[in-house]
Amino acid sequence: METVSLNQAFGGTQGVYRHASSATGTDMVFSVYVPPHEPGARLPVVWYLSGLTCTHANVTEKGEYRRACAELGLIFVAPDTSPRGEGVPDDADGAYDFGLGAGFYVDATQPPFADNYRMWSYVTEELPALLEAQFPADMDRQSIMGHSMGGHGALTIGLSLPDRFKAASAFAPIVAPSQVPWGQKALAGYLGADQAAWRRHDAVALIEDGARIGALLVDQGEADSFLAEQLRPELLAEACRAAGIDLTLRMQPGYDHSYYFISTFMEDHLRWHAARL
């Protein structure tokens, strides 16, 4: 593991790191904020999954999470959204919503993406093992959150691994990718035409198929230009209501899809996670 940068913030350390990933077959970059703590202490972990076109840097630079994490004693981890580098396949037309920057947190099965686009394994297996080995992380206290495509990832991972993740939350998540253009394009391209294979990467479908989690928190801006076509939080609300899952869905007037929105409600989410960790 290579240290790219280290900066002190609110008494803790914000680091950016690079390592050779066996899951993706590429170098991967991620950021970790470690709050001030007593020597030997092991701290709870909040994972943050970013959205389309983003890297670890978007939330690291604009998420405004460090003050709250320092107060609450939370390690904050932000991986990249997809493998990158020379030779990594991309969308043939260079579209933003598929290929580089748009891994959708799945393990691709379709060529030419299957060799590198293994973000599910990277986020749920490889990076947690690295975190446990290199940082003061208490892996018995983990939770997960994300934005947009990363909100989709946080919900599907949280629902799939409820014994590991004590809480899951999201900002403007893609809740039912099987039913919206972003998700249909990505899931077909990475997983193939058989829509039965898509269901384990669709939060609404997972709930319909029996997945359960104690509680979910979702914030959604009412001025989000993607709300009606791509995000459709009402589908998650309907699925949670039918399944008896405690969903707090907060529709925020005037807020859009940007980090102005995310940073406004980041502290609320971190306090919600800390209470469950």
Query: Exactly one of 56, 147, 201, 257 is catalytic; which is it?
Result: 257
- Indicate the DSSP class of residue 260: H
Q: In sequence order, what DSSP letters do the residues of 181-232 get, joined into one string?
A: HHHHHHHHHHH-S-GGGGGGG-HHHHHHTT---SEEEEEEETT-TTIIIII-
Cα–Cα distance measured from residue 134 to residue 17, given in angstroms and rounded to the nearest whole number: 11
Query: Which of the following is catalytic: 201, 224, 269, 273?
Result: 224
Of the residues 82, 148, 152, 269, which is catalytic?
148
Q: Kindly tell me the burial class for residue 137, based on how many C-beta atoms sit within 10 Å of its own C-beta (0-12, 13-18, 19 or more).
A: buried
CA dihedral 169, 171, 175, 177 (to 10 degrees): -130
Is there a catalytic annotation at residue 202? no
Percent helix, percent strand, percent coil in the chain, to nearest 5: 35, 25, 35
* 91 noted as active-site residue: no
- Catalytically active residues, by annotation: 148, 224, 257
